C-alpha cells in the first residue's frame, strides 16, 4: 500500500472507530473520495454543505413544522439547483463519490440521501437512512409513516409505495419484509456505499481501485470474512501475493468447508509456491 493510501486508511479508521451515532457521515464519505481524488480539499467540500444549508434555511418560514422544512429543503436541492438521480449513467463510479455529486449534481440513491441528510443535519433536522433492497430512501426520525426518495426528486412515499418500489426493482423476486424499513446504522450506510464502488470496480476489472475500497470496507467491519476473501483474491490478481496469502489464510481458518474450502486451499498452495520461488 502506498504511503498516500495508507494515510487515507488511517484517516478513515479514525472516522469510523467511534460510537456509531458519533460518526460524521459527510466526513467519512469524503475520505472515501480522497482515495480517488487525492488533491481533494475535504474542509472545502464540507463548507459547501454549510452553504447549501444556509440558503435552504431562507426557504423556510419561521413556524415551519418538520415536514414543511423537509419539503423546503427538497424544493431547493432538487427543483431550484437541480440535484437529480443519474438514471442515464447509473453505474458510473462518480455517482458514488460525494465530491462528484456536489460538483455535477448527479448521484445515486445513497449519495443523494447523504446530501439531504447532511444539509438537514445543519438545520437540526434529524433524518435517517432506510436501506431497502436495491434502493435507499430517508425518513424523519419522528415521522415514521412517510419516506423521502431523493433519487426521484425528494418525493414522499408511503409504506405501500416503498413496497411497490422494491417489487419493481427486484422484479418481484424478493418477498417483502417490514425489516427493509429499519434505519441503517452509520456503519451499515458506509459499508453499503463502499460495496457499491467495489461492485462497479470489480465488474470493470479495476482491481487496484477495488482493493483500495476493500481496505476501507474492512475498516468499517473488520469481521467481514467475505470481504477479506475477496480482497485476497483481488490482491492475487494484482500480484500482491503476501497480502493475498494473509487474507486467504484467515478466511480458510474461519471454518469454511466443501468446494470453497478446496478452491481456497489450492490458491493458498499456489501463493506459497510463488512466494518461495
Q: What is the pLDDT of residues 17-32, one digit of tens each?
A: 999 999 999 999 999 9
* pLDDT at residue 4, rounded to an integer: 62
166-169: Cβ within 8 A, 24+ apart: 166/132, 166/133, 166/134, 166/135, 169/133, 169/134, 169/135
pLDDT at 260: 93
Provide the 8-state DSSP code for 205.
T
**pLDDT at residue number 3:** 59
Q: What is the pTM of this model?
A: 0.94
Q: 128: which strand partners?
A: 139
List, by residue range, all CATH 3.10.620 domains of the chain.
41-181
Cβ contact 6:14 at 8 Å: no
pLDDT number for residue 215: 97
For the segment 81-94, the average pLDDT, to the nearest whole number, is 97
According to the model, what pLDDT value does residue 1 have? 58
Under CATH, to which class is 41-181 assigned? Answer: alpha beta
pLDDT score recorded for residue 52: 98
pLDDT in tens, 214-269: 999 999 999 999 999 999 999 999 999 999 999 999 999 998 999 999 999 999 99
Say which residue, 6 or 169, is predicted with more confidence. 169
Amino acid at each position: 500500500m502506498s504511503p498516500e493510501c495508507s494515510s487515507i486508511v488511517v484517516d478513515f479508521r479514525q472516522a469510523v472507530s467511534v460510537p456509531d451515532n458519533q460518526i460524521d457521515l459527510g466526513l467519512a464519505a469524503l475520505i472515501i473520495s480522497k482515495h480517488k481524488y487525492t488533491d481533494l480539499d475535504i474542509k472545502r467540500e464540507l463548507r459547501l454543505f454549510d452553504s447549501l444549508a444556509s440558503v435552504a434555511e431562507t426557504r423556510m418560514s419561521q413556524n415551519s413544522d418538520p415536514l414543511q422544512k423537509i419539503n423546503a429543503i427538497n424544493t431547493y436541492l432538487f427543483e431550484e439547483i437541480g440535484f437529480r438521480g443519474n438514471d442515464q449513467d447509473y453505474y458510473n463510479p462518480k455517482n458514488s463519490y460525494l465530491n462528484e455529486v456536489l460538483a455535477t449534481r448527479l448521484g445515486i440513491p445513497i449519495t443523494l440521501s447523504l446530501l439531504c441528510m447532511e444539509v438537514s443535519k445543519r438545520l437540526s433536522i434529524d433524518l435517517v437512512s432506510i436501506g431497502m433492497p436495491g434502493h435507499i430512501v430517508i425518513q424523519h426520525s419522528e415521522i415514521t409513516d412517510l419516506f423521502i426518495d431523493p433519487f426521484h426528486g425528494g418525493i414522499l412515499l408511503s409504506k405501500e409505495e416503498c413496497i411497490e418500489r422494491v417489487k419493481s426493482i427486484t422484479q418481484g423476486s424478493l418477498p417483502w419484509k417490514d425489516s427493509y424499513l429499519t434505519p441503517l446504522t452509520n456503519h451499515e450506510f458506509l459499508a453499503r456505499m463502499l460495496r457499491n464502488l467495489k461492485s462497479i470496480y470489480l465488474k470493470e476489472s479495476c482491481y487496484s481501485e477495488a482493493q483500495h475500497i476493500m481496505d476501507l470496507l474492512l475498516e468499517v467491519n473488520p469481521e467481514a470474512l467475505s470481504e477479506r476473501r475477496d480482497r485476497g483474491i483481488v490482491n492475487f490478481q494484482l500480484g500482491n501475493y503476501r497480502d493475498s496469502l494473509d487474507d486467504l489464510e484467515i478466511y480458510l481458518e474461519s471454518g469454511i468447508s466443501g468446494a470453497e474450502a478446496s478452491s481456497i486451499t489450492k490458491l493458498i498452495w499456489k501463493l506459497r509456491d510463488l512466494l518461495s520461488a
